[in-house]
Structure 1
Amino acid sequence: MNKRYWWILITYALMQFSAVPGVLLLRELGVPLDRIPGLWSMFSFSIGLLIIIFLLLPDIRNRHSARNRSSKGEAIRWAIIGVFLVFAAQYAAALIEMFVLGIEPGSENTETIVEFAKAFPAFILVISVIGPILEEIVFRLVIFGALYKRFNFWISGILSSLIFAAVHMDFTHLLVYTAMGLVFAFLYVKTKRILVPIIAHVAINLFVSVVNVLLADQIEEWMEHLEQLEQTSFIIGGLL
């Protein structure tokens, strides 16, 4: 692994650990507690992304020299296919967790992130765009890429995905994170373009953000309305 990639990992680690002094600083400045996580994440992730993109400038300039690199049309096609592959992998992994491992569905990590986004709506940009870009660069381009030079796809994909899960502090759903990581790694290997798993990752996170944050109240109202309709239909059916 070249020195620039080591600096990318260091930058990402510092960005994560900066939450501790960042929270203390914002508390001293009088920022409401429920807005602090979202506000600091917005700041630290944005700075981290700018630094990492700067470190990747040589790769960006030499991207056309990659062998067997997919065309733009193929990349777009695989990015779209990748969204459905990730959804399918998540669903399959969740079913195995429930019916084989006895793990209840739902993620505390996701619930916490949703609460942060509701308190500081701009945090959605971190969840949907900045975060996925950083994660694909770190976990697929750098970590998976380094492992893939020494091991086969499965070992590299599983190891990088386990690190991916560990950073999210969601060890209960290791299988789900591993399944997602393997799909993203496959998209990267298949197309030789890191932009492809980035697009798929952004699309997945954007969908989850819209459903769980922006449309959460409307969906709850729709569910209540459906329950009322079902109760009304049951009463009418009983009368008839």
Structure 2
Amino acid sequence: MNKKYVWIVLTFIAMQLSTFIGTPLFFQIGTNVLHIDPQEMRVNAVGYWILFSFSVGLAIVLFLLRKNEKYTKIEKSEPLPVAESFAWAIGGIFMAFFAQIFASMLEQIIGINPGSENTQRILQLIKLFPTIVVISSIIGPILEEIVFRKVIFGSLYNRFPFWAAALLSSVIFALAHTEPVHIILYSAMGFVFAFLYVKTKRIIVPIIAHVSMNTFVVIMQLFLADKLKHYIQGGEQLIWWIGGFFS
């Protein structure tokens, strides 16, 4: 892997692990320096640090990518025209949803219950700290597509055929969500995003699909879930199938 791409992966890992230092630090600053109520600061410290760390992480990654150097064979290939790429971005949203539905049904067949602790934690945090929606819907998906598709998948695709590179990178993507029980579902999403990247040769395409899917999940879970339950039998389970996991 190119040295620049190694730094991008290390930045992403450091950003994820920084919460163990940053959250207590923000808590101490809030309670001891700003004299904020400790109970309130417990929530604020988590929210503020997530916003800070993800924003800084994205800034560093974009800085590392500032030069348009081409390292992988995808980057060296001619991208699809903008109009076709946009069509694939829109179609990719539906592909992602269908992949989730199929993967979720497959998981239930083998005895895995629908529902994601990871998603529930994010939704609870959004309710307590609404600006976190910017991370879950925009910054997070952008970072994940750069790291897992452009860098990891792109590097693997230099050495392996598509199916192998997509499978390996998608499993890594799934494991990074710390819910191994849903490895099939997250891997299915990663496979779709890898396909979109290879098909269009534009990383913005899987980014658009990923951002759109996560935004849809937030809207469904926060604003429409309770209403749909009155009209759809088993509505909560259906919502989990249709994009019910942040990826």
Q: Same fold (TM over 0.5)?
A: yes
Q: State yes or no: 1:177 paired with 2:186.
A: yes
Q: State yes or no: 1:91 paired with 2:101.
A: yes
Q: Quick one: structure 1 residues 221 and 77, their matched pair in 2 at CA, closer, same or farther if it must change by over 3 Å?
A: closer
Q: State yes or no: 1:80 paired with 2:78.
A: no
For the residues of structure 1 that align with 2:104 and 2:183, how far apart are their CA atoms?
Answer: 10
- Give the TM-score taking structure 1 as reference length: 0.87
Partner of 2:147: 138
| One of 159, 166, 172 as aligned partner of 2:168 | 159
Partner of 1:24: 24
The alignment covers a number of residue pairs equal to 221
How far did residue 131 of structure 1 move?
0.2
- Give the TM-score taking structure 2 as reference length: 0.84
Partner of 1:117: 126
For the residues of structure 2 that align with 1:115 and 1:60, how far apart are their CA atoms?
Answer: 40
How far did residue 226 of structure 1 move?
8.2
Partner of 1:212: 221
How far did residue 181 of structure 1 move?
0.4
For the residues of structure 2 that align with 1:52 and 1:166, how far apart are their CA atoms?
Answer: 21
Partner of 1:2: 2
Matches within 5 A, 1:41-80: 41-59=50-68, 66-80=76-90
Q: Quick one: structure 1 residues 146 and 50, their matched pair in 2 at CA, closer, same or farther if it must change by over 3 Å?
A: same
How far did residue 27 of structure 1 move?
2.0
How far did residue 222 of structure 1 move?
5.7
Q: Quick one: structure 1 residues 153 and 26, their matched pair in 2 at CA, closer, same or farther if it must change by over 3 Å?
A: same
Q: Quick one: structure 1 residues 73 and 24, their matched pair in 2 at CA, closer, same or farther if it must change by over 3 Å?
A: same
One-letter amino acid of the counterpart of residue 92, structure 2 = G
How far did residue 224 of structure 1 move?
5.0
Structure 2: gaps of 5 or more residues: 32-39, 234-247
Deviation string for 1:207-238 (max 9, x for gaps)?
0111223x15xx425645889xxxxxxxxxxx
One-letter amino acid of the counterpart of residue 15, structure 1 = M
The DSSP-based 3-state class of the residue aligned with 1:57 is coil
Q: Quick one: structure 1 residues 224 and 156, their matched pair in 2 at CA, closer, same or farther if it must change by over 3 Å?
A: same
How far did residue 102 of structure 1 move?
0.6
Check the 8 A contact 1:9/1:138 in 2, yes or no.
Answer: yes
Please say which of residues 66-75 and 134-143 is displaced more in the overlay: 66-75
Check the 8 A contact 2:107/2:113 in 1, yes or no.
Answer: yes
For the residues of structure 2 that align with 1:167 and 1:151, how far apart are their CA atoms?
Answer: 21
Partner of 1:236: none
Greater helix share, structure number? 1
